């Protein structure tokens, strides 16, 4: 890993500004923000980095390397259930391929994929899914409402968003696609969610629900995995709220043999939706 001091970075930025004849950063006290020109340079730089990674991948293919590197990004929610066994199978088939795993929420994964930092990323496909990416389906699960066993709606088979208008929500931390899905469902019904807590840990979210702090939303397979007597799972009867997990990659990108092998294994081991 290369470590650069602040002074070196500042000099490099100043040199680039002098060459381009325009400021790239707006400096306010100890803070710096990208100018309009800086935004353009940053966007182009991400593209150049992605092209560099594609170039290295193609050259490695040309050399016929037996090894390789799988650069994949996964979200914290649901990845264990979907991909843990796949990693074991992949390692058994391709022992000489190194795996570089990156874990982030959806927003950061989109950025990593667009910049070429990862070749593949597991993302939730929603109506707003980026046209920059191609994808392969992994799994589609309905989202359920997780509520305390003594909640007034706990005996219902299904609920709609309006039923939960006065109920506090326990959501994931900022940047998680599941939050966006629920927010869009609320917007369609004119409901303003009352968020009482956020966490990045499914176990803790379920514990908060069981304690009566509010309700949460999870893909059914994950909710069933964490089910206990203190909670109930109620179907969410709303359109466009399926948890549709895909493996995505940049359109027209040259995928490495390591990435192609992962996609092939994912097709072979795709699990059926829970009933």
The domain that holds 180 is classified in CATH as: 3.40.190.290
pLDDT, residue 274, reads: 52
Q: Are 123 and 106 in contact (CB under 8 A)?
A: yes
Total domains in the chain come to 2
pLDDT digits (tens, 9 = 90+) for 140-188: 999 999 999 999 999 999 999 999 999 999 999 988 889 999 999 999 9
The reply to whether 161 and 45 lie within a common domain is: no
The reply to whether 110 and 185 lie within a common domain is: no
Which pLDDT band, with edges at 50, 70 and 90, does 6 fall under?
A: low
Give pTM, 2 decimals: 0.72
pLDDT over 90 (residue 11): no
DSSP the chain: -----HHHHHHHHHHHHHHHTS--EEEETTEEEE-HHHHHHHHHHHHHHHHHHHHHHHHHHHHT-S-EEEEEEE-SSSHHHHHHHHHHHHHHH-TTEEEEEEE--HHHHHHHHHHTS-SEEEEE--TT--TTEEEEEEEEEEEEEEEETTSTTTT-SEE-GGGGTTSEEEEEPTT-HHHHHHHHHHHHHT---EEEEEES-HHHHHHHHHTTS-BEEEEHHHHHHT--TTEEEEEE--TT-EEEEEEEEETT----HHHHHHHHHHHHTPPPPP-
Q: Residue 257 and residue 97: Cα distance in Å, rounded?
A: 10
The reply to whether 56 and 146 lie within a common domain is: no
User: Does residue 15 sit within a domain?
Assistant: no
User: Does residue 50 sit within a domain?
Assistant: yes
The reply to whether 132 and 194 lie within a common domain is: no
The reply to whether 250 and 232 lie within a common domain is: no
User: Does residue 21 sit within a domain?
Assistant: no
pLDDT digits (tens, 9 = 90+) for 141-152: 999 999 999 999
User: Does residue 90 sit within a domain?
Assistant: yes
The reply to whether 182 and 213 lie within a common domain is: yes
Give the domain range for residue 86.
Answer: 33-138+244-268
CATH number assigned to the domain comprising residue 257: 3.40.190.10
The reply to whether 251 and 130 lie within a common domain is: yes
User: Does residue 274 sit within a domain?
Assistant: no
pLDDT-above-70 percentage for the chain: 91
| Structure tokens that stand for 179 in this block | 């939050």
The reply to whether 258 and 212 lie within a common domain is: no
User: Does residue 16 sit within a domain?
Assistant: no
User: Does residue 5 sit within a domain?
Assistant: no
Q: 105, 103, 247, 85: which is closest to 175 by C-alpha?
A: 105
The reply to whether 42 and 171 lie within a common domain is: no
pLDDT, residue 1, reads: 37
The reply to whether 100 and 79 lie within a common domain is: yes
User: Does residue 4 sit within a domain?
Assistant: no
The reply to whether 129 and 197 lie within a common domain is: no
The reply to whether 132 and 144 lie within a common domain is: no
């Amino acid at each position: 890993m290369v470590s650069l001091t602040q002074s070196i970075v500042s000099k490099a930025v100043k040199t680039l500004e002098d060459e381009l004849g325009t400021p790239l950063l707006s400096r306010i006290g100890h803070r710096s923000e990208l100018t309009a020109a800086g935004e353009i340079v940053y966007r182009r730089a991400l593209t150049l980095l992605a092209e560099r990674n594609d170039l290295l991948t193609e050259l490695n293919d040309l050399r016929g390397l037996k090894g390789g590197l799988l650069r994949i990004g996964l979200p914290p929610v649901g990845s264990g259930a979907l991909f843990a066994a796949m990693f074991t199978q992949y390692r058994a088939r391709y022992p000489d391929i190194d795996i570089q795993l990156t874990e982030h929420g959806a927003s950061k994964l989109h950025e990593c994929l667009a910049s070429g930092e990862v070749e593949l990323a597991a993302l939730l496909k929603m109506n707003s899914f980026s046209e920059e990416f191609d994808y392969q389906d992994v799994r589609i699960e309905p989202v359920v409402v997780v509520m305390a066993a003594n909640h007034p709606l706990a005996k219902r088979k299904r609920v709609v968003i309006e039923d939960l208008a006065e109920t506090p929500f326990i959501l994931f931390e900022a940047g998680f696609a599941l939050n966006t899905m629920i927010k869009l469902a609320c917007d369609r019904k004119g409901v303003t969610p009352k968020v009482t807590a956020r966490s990045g840990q499914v176990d803790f979210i379920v514990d908060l629900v069981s304690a009566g702090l509010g309700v949460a939303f999870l893909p059914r397979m994950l909710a069933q995995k964490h089910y206990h007597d203190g909670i109930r799972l109620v179907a969410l009867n709303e359109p466009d709220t399926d948890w549709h997990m895909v493996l995505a990659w940049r359109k027209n990108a040259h995928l490495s043999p390591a990435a192609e092998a992962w996609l092939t294994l994912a097709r072979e081991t795709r699990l059926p939706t829970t009933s």
